[in-house]
């Protein structure tokens, strides 16, 4: 029996596809005056939140949902801008850390209000009261299907973001820096 998706399922998926296509570009446009893309902003923010402003590239990839090749290209671009520096990992000479520079801290601080405003105006404000938590729950349910081994920090370390406080599924620690 060849049953396709129901109409409501097709509509839901079409809307999800559209969201995934349009949101990154819209965020990039809002951040363009600050010289960073939305993905670069996410990298800077992840480094800012890490101990000492540094993370192994593998941990940074996990926290930003990136492949290592994509992450490497973007870190190289951020290095050229002077926002990030690559340094050998002191704990493991085979690994490389990305370190947030003072210029990177300043860029993040400058772009942060515009990013927050963009996310709120384009996404969160339209969800109504409790909408952010609902969106987080729906996204996590999908991500857990896509990342059952919890390789990505967003599915592995819910206690860090507070979203999964009542989650009955045990969580694991995020990839250490």
Same domain, yes or no, for 66 and 108? yes
3 inside domain:
no
Q: DSSP string of 29-87?
A: HHHGGGT--HHHHHHHHHHHHSGGGEEEHHHHHHHHT--HHHHHHHHHHHHHTTSEEEE
Per-residue pLDDT tens digits for 7-19: 999 999 999 999 9
Q: Is the pTM of this model over 0.85?
A: no
8 inside domain:
no
Same domain, yes or no, for 45 and 104? yes
What's the domain range around 173?
A: 129-177
53 inside domain:
yes
Same domain, yes or no, for 139 and 170? yes
Same domain, yes or no, for 157 and 94? no
Same domain, yes or no, for 140 and 173? yes
Beta bridge partners of 56: 97
Per-residue pLDDT tens digits for 56-98: 999 999 899 899 999 999 999 999 999 999 999 888 878 899 9
Please give the tally of structural domains in the chain.
2
Same domain, yes or no, for 36 and 108? yes
């Amino acid at each position: 029996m060849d049953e396709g998706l129901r109409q409501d399922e097709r509509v839901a998926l079409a809307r999800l596809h559209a969201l995934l296509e349009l949101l990154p570009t819209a965020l990039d446009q809002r951040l363009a005056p600050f010289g960073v893309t939305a993905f670069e902003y996410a990298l800077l923010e992840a480094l800012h939140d890490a101990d000492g402003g540094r993370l192994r590239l593998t941990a940074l990839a996990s926290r930003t949902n990136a492949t290592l090749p994509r992450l490497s290209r973007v870190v190289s671009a951020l290095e050229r801008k002077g926002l990030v520096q690559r340094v050998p990992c002191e704990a493991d000479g085979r690994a490389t850390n990305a370190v947030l520079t003072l210029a990177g801290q300043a860029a993040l601080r400058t772009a942060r209000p515009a990013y927050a405003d963009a996310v709120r105006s384009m996404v969160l404000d339209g969800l109504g009261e409790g909408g952010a938590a609902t969106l987080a729950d729906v996204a996590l349910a999908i991500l857990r299907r896509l990342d059952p081994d919890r390789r990505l920090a967003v599915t592995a370390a819910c206690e860090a973001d507070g979203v999964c406080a009542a989650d009955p599924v045990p969580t694991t620690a995020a990839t250490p820096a």
